[in-house]
Structure formats: structure tokens, C-alpha cells
Amino acid sequence: MSDAAGMAQQGERIALLKVLGPIHVWALGVGIVLVGEFMGWNFSVAKGGAYGSLIACWIIGLLYTCVAMIDSEVTSTVAAAGGQYTQAKHIIGPLMAFNVGLYLVMAYTMLEAADALVVGDLIKAVAIDSGYADFDSRPFTLVTIAFLALLNYRGVFVTLTVNFVITAVAFIAIVVLFLGVAPWHPGQTLIHRELLTQLPYGWLGVVAALQFGMWYYLGIEGTCQAAEEVRSAGRSIPLGTMCGMITLLVAAAMTWYVATGLMPWEYLGQAVTPLYDAARLSGSKSLQTLLFVGTLFSAVASANGCINDASRAWFSMSRDRYMPMWFGAVHPRYRTPYRAIIFLVPIAISFAFTGLLDQVITFSILSGLLGYTFMSINIVKFRRQWPLGSINRGYIHPFHPIPAIVLAILCIATYFATYLGYGTSLLSIMAFYIMASIWFALHRYKYVKRGDQFTMDWPRPKNY
Amino acid sequence: MNFWPWLSNAAWGISILIFAWILIDAFRVHRDYDDDFLMSSTEGKE
């Protein structure tokens, strides 16, 4: 993409560039999520045992399949950056839109911080292994964020093309590990018969495991943030999202099968890097190296996608004056929301430098969960106000309203699961969003141009 | 020279350089273009 072709001239209206295709959408969605296969999902094993983790994997897989289907339908008609924020603005109202926008920004910024922390910790582990005990991981956390911020600043096409490459490498690493432990010869390397046990904490443990089951898939809904930069939103978003969801279901299944066949649940439930540990247990140095690279790449890809998504959400909110409009600027040469990218970087760095991986991740998960709850309400209103045939939909999800009902029920179950383990965090985060909502309603909303809110070329809603 | 301290210092230095480049570029854009133009992007329109 030449600079001359991309350079906007003063006097024209500036816009984000429509340069992305389905593989970029796949790279964005899977890239954000795949790190959860390399670390984090296994905490569900500590809650519910290996079988509890598997049940959580299926149930949360169902939750996210509903998310992917619902999101694909709405996003195929709402071709704008901001994703679920823009959907909420059109379908529900400004206060819901503000909250959803904030969920997106916080979820992705916190996840970016966590990913950068992981990169620093991985390099620290290598340093300690080579005999250098006195090691500060912060410069590597910082340079990760700096490099990815620069990539995002310089253009979305290169950002997501790089993401495609490193995400593909990370996924291939999981596949190679799966093949490398010879699953077709049970008992040779994988010893499920010896390691799998009954549910250690019963069905309550399975419920508690749901929270960490989200790590297999958390972030796939981020594909819709690319809606304003794809060449064909009606085709690319559903195709990239659904292919991404299938990729994640396959990766989750392989991850669970390999890890539970090599490690007892008591160890697996607290391992920091379960797939890397599995590679070490396989006895193959090549697999060990490959899985280290895969873990590193997955964390970098996730942080990269998070910077992309958080900045688009902040940019969209600013463009609508939900946040200061100054952040709604587009770079004239690189056609990126550069001020939004710059603004969110110090926030991510400050959270990453706390070193509190657990708290940062919990904030991200809960913000995401609030967003999924909104989606179930959103699609019901969307279908009711704009029935099939009233507007052009690039994708129509099947069996409505069953996915919306299933999604709502599973969200409630996951809130309960989160309350069991992180009740204080859950209440704190709820309080944060309530305070933010009060600020928006009493102070910020007066700056919003109400007449400019509805931008989609849709007919008047049914019965309006 | 010990490799890891050198690498750490390099990481700090590269980070500072990257952030400096970004901020200088953003300042140049702010100086050379009207804010009305930079913020003229509209949702749903090219």
C-alpha cells in the first residue's frame, strides 16, 4: 500500500482505509484469543478437575458459538469501527452504548497489559534458566507494547498481516504438539487412563470452572472492530469470525486432550504454561522449542489485536463525542486512529507494570462477560425492530432466539462462577461501571449530538 | 559483557526511541493539518 495512495488531502473527508480481507479478520479474532490455549484455561482444572474443565470447555464453547453467530449477523449490517458499541448505539441507546464501549476498551486494554506481562515473564524464565537470576522483566514488557503500538500506528494492513503469520505459527505449534504425542497410540505418551479422575469438587466445581473456560475463546468477538476497515463487511466479518470460532474449538479440544494426558490435574490446575510443560514432558527438545515460540507468538499476537480493538472502540466513542472528540482523529498518511492508540498505551503500561496478572485478567474477563450479556439483549431487539427482510443482512444466524436465550443463561451461570472465586472483583467492577454511567449521564451526554447518532441506512424500526 | 543486562538496556532504549518517534510524528501531524480535517471521519460514510 503506497504512501501516495493512502495519503489524504486536506479538504477531503478523512477515513479509515478499507484494506482488510477475511484472513485479517481471522487473524484478529484468533490472534487475540489463542494465548488462552497456551495459558489460563488450565485454571479451570483446579476448579473442577480434568473432566470439569472439559465440560466447561464445551459449555463455554457453546456460549461463544452463540456470541460468534449473533455478532456476525449484527456486524454484517453495521459496517463501522466500534463493533458492539456501534450496535448498541443503534439498537438500544446511548447509555448502553457508552457502557459497551467502555467494556470493550477496558477488556482489550487489560488483556493487552496481561499479554505484555506474559512476554516479559517468558523472557525472564529464559534468563533464569541460563543462570541470570537478577532479572527485571519490565523493559521487555515495555518494548513489546512499544513495538506493537508502532505497528498499529503505521497501518492496519501490516498489523493484521503480521498477526496472521504469528497466529498461524502459534496454531500450528498446537497441532504439531498434538501430532507429536501420538494420540492414536493411547498409553504410549498420553496416559489418560492413569491421570483422569472423578470430579474432585462435584458439579459445583464444574460450575466454578466455567469462569476459566472462557480463556479458550475470550476475545473472538473482537473481529467486529475491523468492520470499517474490511473491503466487504457483509462477507469478511461472518466468514472470518466463524472460521476463527472453528479454529478455536479445534485448538481447545487438542489443548485439553494433550495436557490432561500428560499431567495430573493437581499440577495442571496451577501450571503457568501448560502447553509448554506438556512439550517438556514429551521429551522432545524440538517440541519444547516450538511450544516456547508458540507461547511467545500467541501472547504478542493477542496484545497486537488488543491494541487494534481497544483503539477502534475509543476512537468510535470519541468520534461520537461520548469521549473527547480530539481522540477521534485519523492519521492522514497511515489512516489509523493514532490519537486513540497513543492515549491507551500508558494505561496499558501502567497496568502491566503492576505485575498483578491475576487482577488484570479478571477485570478483562468480567468486562467481556458484561459485553456478552448485552449481546443477547441486543439481538432480540434487533430482530424485533428490524425483522428479516427489512434490511440487508450479510449473514443470518439460525434458530433465533435460541442462541440469545442460551447465551443469556450461560452468562448468568458464568457470573455465578466468577462470584464464587472473585466476588470482590466482580462487585468492584460493577461499581466502576455504575460510577462511569452516572458520569456519562450527568456530565458527558450533553456534548453528544443526538441527531448524528443513527448513521446506518436502515428504515424506521418496526412499530416505532 | 553479560548478555542479559545489555539486552535489558537495549529494550529500554528501543522503547524510548519508538515512543519518541510516535510522539514526534503525532506532533508533526498536529502542526501540519487542521484538527477539523483530522477529525472529519464520519461513521458509516467514506
Instruction: Calculate how close chain B gets to A392, using CA atoms only, in Å.
Output: 15
The answer to whether B22 contacts A153, with C-beta atoms less than 8 Å apart, is: yes
End-to-end CA distance of chain A: 45
Taking residue A87's Cβ as centre, other Cβ atoms within 10 Å add up to 29
Residues of B with CB under 8 A from a CB of A: 2, 4, 8-9, 11-12, 14-15, 18-19, 21-23, 25-26, 29, 33-35, 37-46
Residue with cell 478499507: A18
Indicate if the pLDDT at residue A82 is higher than 90: no
End-to-end CA distance of chain B: 55
* DSSP, residue by residue, A92-103: T-HHHHHHHHHH
Indicate if the pLDDT at residue A444 is higher than 80: yes
The answer to whether B38 contacts A143, with C-beta atoms less than 8 Å apart, is: no
pTM of the entire predicted model: 0.91
Is A361 or B17 the better-scoring residue by pLDDT? B17
* C-alpha to C-alpha distance for A407 and A70, rounded to whole angstroms: 10
Q: pLDDT by residue (tens digit) across B1-46?
A: 478 889 999 999 999 999 999 999 999 999 999 999 999 988 865 5
* C-alpha to C-alpha distance for A444 and A375, rounded to whole angstroms: 24
Taking residue A309's Cβ as centre, other Cβ atoms within 10 Å add up to 30
Domain boundaries, chain A: 17-446
All three cell numbers of A129, joined, read 534458566
Which of the four pLDDT bands, split at 50, 70 and 90, describes residue A19?
A: very high
Pick the CATH number of A17-446 from 1.20.1740.10, 3.40.50.720, 1.10.1750.10, 3.40.50.150: 1.20.1740.10
- Taking the C-alpha atoms of A351, A338, A220 and A95 in order, what is their torsion angle to the nearest 10 degrees? 80
Q: Which positions in chain A touch B18 (Cβ < 8 Å)?
A: 143, 146-147, 149-150
Indicate if the pLDDT at residue A2 is higher than 80: no
* C-alpha to C-alpha distance for A96 and B13, rounded to whole angstroms: 42
ipTM of predicted assembly, 2 dp: 0.95
Let me know: does A39 contact A295? Beta carbons within 8 Å. yes
Nearest chain A residue to B37 by CA: give it.
Answer: A10
Instruction: Calculate how close chain A gets to B35, using CA atoms only, in Å.
Output: 8
Is A167 or A235 the better-scoring residue by pLDDT? A167
Q: Which positions in chain B touch A81 (Cβ < 8 Å)?
A: 43
Instruction: Calculate how close chain A gets to B15, using CA atoms only, in Å.
Output: 5
Rounded mean pLDDT of A124-141? 87
